[in-house]
Amino acid sequence: MPVEYREEFDALERACQERWERARASAAPVRPQGRKFYCLEMLPYPSGRLHMGHVRNYAIGDAVARFNRMRGFQVLHPMGWDSFGLPAENAAIKHGIHPARWTNENIAAMAAQLRRLGLSYDWEREIAAHRPEYYRWNQWFFLKMLERDLAYRSRRWVNWCSSCRTVLANEQVEAGRCWRCDSLVGRKELEQWFLRITRYAEELDAELDRLPGWPERVRAMQRNWIGKSQGALVRFPILDGPGQARAGALEVFTTRLDTIFGATFCVVAPGHPILASLPDGSPEKARVRAFEERAARRDVSRAGAEPEEKEGVDTGLRAQNPFSRERVPIWVANFVLMEYGTGAIMAVPAHDERDHEFARKYALPIRTVVVPPGSGQAAAAPQPAMVEDGVLVDSGEASGRTSAEARLILLRRGEEGGFATGTVRYRILDWGISRQRYWGTPIPVLYCDGCGVVPVPEADLPVVLPEDAPLTGEGGSPLAQVASFVNAPCPRCRRPARRETDTMDTFFDSSWYFYRYCDPRNDKAAFDPAIVGGWLPIDLYVGGITHATMHLIYCRFFAKVLRDIGLLERGEPIRNLLCQGMVLKGGTAMSKSKGNIVDPDDMVRRYGADTTRLFTLFAAPPEKDLEWNEKGVEGCFRFLEKIWRLVMPRASTLAAMALPAPRDGAEEPRLAALRRKVHQTIERVSVDVQKRLHLNTPVAAIMELLNATQEFERSATPKDGPYLKEACVTMALLLHPFAPHISEALWSALGGQGSVAEQPWPGADAGWLKEEQAEVVVQVNGRLRGRLVVPASLPEAEVLERARGDARLGALLAGRPVRKTIYLPGKLLNIVLE
């Protein structure tokens, strides 16, 4: 009695994994020769336990990696750890475990889980962000950016999470709440290090159009985030204010210069510098100050929430519309943002909803200057605002022109007059990277009373994170309390200086790790550009959609910086991006709080790695959410059991046989049908994985082949052996990307030499893909009326004759003139009657 799969899978999978490891089956060469494929999955945070989202992510990547290895590519498929960050520090505060120990133990546990899944990583390239030999290059990149004025220090209002006691990037604030702990985000003013990502805003935006291998929604999200908008800066001279006349001008940004003759007032944001010019002691100043204080208070908890009621006060300042020469009031109001544009706007209530709402509330004038094309002069103010482009009225020389023309005409005039400039603005802000945290990369600068900000010399890198910082969760940066770290001589003057005590945002770590994988043990440089040049770009990057705007913008920014430094050839590191869907249970994401977690270890114990992986691939296409279904898992397990039961009892017999010659069996329908199915399956699996990146349909195709082979086997005689063998061997090969362990067992049982992983991917024989006897679908007036089995090459006229000869079809066609026919050879005949 042969061994059942149920009893065998665990030992079998472990044995395979040991063999692969011993044989270094997944090791990539230093430099690829010939065709290369860089297959990458997003760097995980070592939380300590794998979840199903990880398993799905890695099963997808591994299927693609194994497939391409068999296709003869040299595949780089690495894995590592995004091992700096808050949870390690929180664990230290809560349980008194040192972050390093916690992190290392978690890495060991998760690496063991990954190994048990049989993922084909080149573990010799493993990296971890918290190791000095890695983060030293963070520091080196930071120094390079400092040299190029891409890193700078600035005092700025930042998002402050009082629970995590740290600064958050805008991207880390979701609807006014901390992306990790979900508590309300406040504001605080701090000296921060920034990276000048805005210098690359234009390129980051423009190149989105040249990333055809990226999902449209990710590109849309990035476009939105970068927020490019074309417009003009217009200077409104200040005419007078409370108590006195004054010089100067208010600069506003607008994308609707065509509406400028309708600008009946200006609005500045709270905190706008012009407000400081109000004379102390004036009632206007008091009014404005009171308003600003109210606005600032509200700002703290409302960031990202619903827009609030528009409010403002008249500053008493008056400016002149440089186009219409009209005198307009300047207001301060809560709906204008200091962070965007110039922090000041011209308000055109007739043609902007927000301005309209504000003007109604405070009874400010509303003047129509754009009307829909074809309508005459509009007298009354539109209600609500008419925001679309149209034709201008009451706008001087631009009257009668379209909005688009008017924008050009007015801009030219403004430029000639010296009061307007065409410009482009971006919503994206510079990337604040300072974190008041311990478990991160120390920022390599010192502060010297004599020399100011002094970078740590390259030769002194890495600035190593001290081990003994007090982690209490209170106070500012833990490093500030480590005297032996803080106090260091100034590299320039040698006098006592203080080290920077903030650490880097961990997105810095993950912005360049995929270069390091190419050259992971280099201790002279972050990487050798020649080696990286051979492997990049990443041919497939698989990860969650959650990183669409943060990680995936930062790493594009890094690529451009590294290109400009001369380390990279290209500024876009990722050719194809696959954002896999979430793994759900009961319609929602698995989470501890919902108690709906499915434990990967548990699945592997009960069904094995192959089944667990197979289910995550089979149940849904990669980019869609996947609903976990235990019955579906059992279905996948049954599939592997069936193939096992088909092959194993016959394996030794089949192993002794030869495969059939290329055209053998062509005359006998049973044999031909099986061979055709074999080759059609090869074709389907190959095309779906390679061209469409669909992994559920290839699995389904192999299941079909199994069903066909089982049926064939039931009526098989000993002389059918070679054909049965061909089907079984093909299944063993095709299955390898999806269920690699069982494929090895089937392969060697069938007499295969070496590992399946080393076999060339089977090619479909074109001769078997063509059906010789084709089933032609016959339609009458576009409706399905019958089928005919005919030789595939039969001419149209004869197919029509046979249709007439068919009892049922003949009856339908009899006596009715044919207007025309449409014939797809071997597939379909549509007979259109009068």
Minimal distance, residue 647 CB to RNA, in Å? 13
Report the alpha-carbon distance of residue 55 to residue 546 in Å, rounded.
Answer: 17
State which residue, 341 or 534, has the beta carbon closest to RNA.
341
Q: Does 791 bind RNA (CB under 7 A)?
A: no
Whether 468 contacts 490, CB under 8 Å = no
Residue appearing with tokens 């998760």: 110
Q: Under the criterion CB under 7 A, does residue 310 sit at the interface with RNA?
A: yes
Question: Does the footprint of RNA cover residue 410 (CB under 7 A)?
Answer: no
CB 340 to RNA: min, Å: 4
Residue from 61, 80, 322, 343 touching RNA (CB under 7 A): that is: 343
For residue 728, the minimal CB distance to RNA (Å) is 16
Contacts of RNA in 632-661 (CB under 7 A): 632, 634-636, 638-639, 641-642, 645
Contacting RNA (CB under 7 A), which of 21, 147, 189, 216? 216
- The distance of closest approach from Cβ of residue 486 to RNA in the complex, given in angstroms and rounded to an integer, is 37
Kindly indicate which of the ranges 17-25, 112-120, 156-164, 825-833 contains the residues binding RNA, using the contact rule CB under 7 A.
825-833
Q: How far apart are CA 706 and CA 584, in angstroms?
A: 29
Place of tokens 């060991």: 108
From CA 127, how far away is CA 516, in angstroms rounded? 8
Among 102, 225, 485, 768, binds RNA (CB under 7 A): 225
- Residue 824 within binding range of RNA, rule CB under 7 A: yes
Site for RNA in 711-730 (CB under 7 A): 711, 714
What is the Cα–Cα distance from 695 to 682, expressed in whole angstroms? 14
Q: How far is the CB of 183 from RNA (least distance, A)?
A: 18
Q: How far is CA 511 from CA 84, 201, 331, 416, 574, in A?
A: 13, 17, 43, 45, 12
Q: Find the shortest distance in angstroms from Cβ 833 to RNA.
A: 9
Nearer of residues 98 and 427 to RNA, judged by Cβ: 427
Type of residue at 161: C
Q: Does 696 bind RNA (CB under 7 A)?
A: yes
Of 139 and 576, nearer to RNA (C-beta) is: 576
Q: Which of residues 801-820 bind RNA (CB under 7 A)?
A: 808, 820
> Does 520 interact with RNA (rule: CB under 7 A)?
no
Which parts of 230-289 interact with RNA (CB under 7 A)? 231, 253-256, 269
Minimum distance, C-beta of residue 755 to RNA, in the bound complex (Å): 27
Per-residue binding string, RNA, 354-373, x by CB under 7 A, is: x-------------------
3-state secondary structure of 405: helix
Q: How far is the CB of 646 from RNA (least distance, A)?
A: 9
Minimum distance, C-beta of residue 505 to RNA, in the bound complex (Å): 17
Coil vs helix vs strand at 337: coil
Q: How far is CA 340 from the centre of its chain?
A: 26
Are the beta carbons of 201 and 226 closer than 8 angstroms?
Answer: yes
Residues 556-615 that bind RNA (CB under 7 A): none
**Range 794-805 burial, b when 16+ CB lie within 10 A, else e:** beeeebbebbee
169 makes contact with RNA (CB under 7 A): no
Q: Is residue 229 a contact residue for RNA (CB under 7 A)? A: yes
Tell which positions 535-554 bind RNA, by CB under 7 A. 545, 549
Cβ(441)–Cβ(84) below 8 Å:
yes
Q: Which tokens go with 284?
A: 């206007």
What is the SS3 assignment for 735-773? HCCCCHHHHHHHHHHCCCCCCHHHCCCCCCCHHHHCCCE
In the complex with RNA, the residue whose CB is nearer, 516 or 551, is: 551
Q: Rule CB under 7 A: which of 67-106 touch RNA?
A: none
CB of 388 to RNA, least distance (A): 11
**Cβ closest to RNA, residue 7 vs residue 523:** 7
* Residue in the block written with tokens 């392969």: 747
Binding-site size, RNA (CB under 7 A): 87
3-state helix vs strand vs coil in the chain, percent to 5: 40, 20, 35
CA dihedral (665, 761, 772, 643) in degrees, to 10, reads 60
User: d(Cα 217, Cα 215) in Å, to the nearest integer?
Assistant: 5
The upper half-sphere exposure of residue 785, i.e. CA atoms within 13 Å in the direction of its Cβ, equals: 20
Least Å from the CB of residue 801 to RNA = 19
Is residue 335 close enough to count as binding RNA by CB under 7 A?
Answer: yes
Residue entry with tokens 């971890």: 128
Tell me the window of 135-143, 312-320, 328-336, 464-472 that interacts with RNA (CB under 7 A). 328-336
Site for RNA in 420-439 (CB under 7 A): 425, 427
Structure tokens at 488: 């260091």
- For residue 664, the minimal CB distance to RNA (Å) is 26
Helix axes 630-647, 740-749, angle to 10 degrees: 10
User: Where does this chain touch RNA (CB under 7 A) — which range of 102-110, 135-143, 274-282, 300-308?
Assistant: 300-308
9 binds RNA (CB under 7 A): no
CB nearer RNA, residue 266 or residue 526? 266
Give the residue, chosen from 248, 279, 283, 304, that forms a contact with RNA under the rule CB under 7 A.
304
- Beta bridge pairs of residue 126: none
Distance separating alpha carbons of residues 437 and 428, to the nearest angstrom: 25
Provide the minimum distance between the beta carbon of 635 and RNA in the complex, in angstroms, as a whole number: 3
Q: Write the binding mask 666 to 695 for RNA: x where contact by CB under 7 A, - elsewhere.
A: ------------------x--xx---x-x-
Task: Give the pairing type, strands 229-241 and 249-254.
Answer: antiparallel
SS (H, E, C) 572-606: CCECCEEEECCEEECCEECCCCCCCCCCHHHHHHH
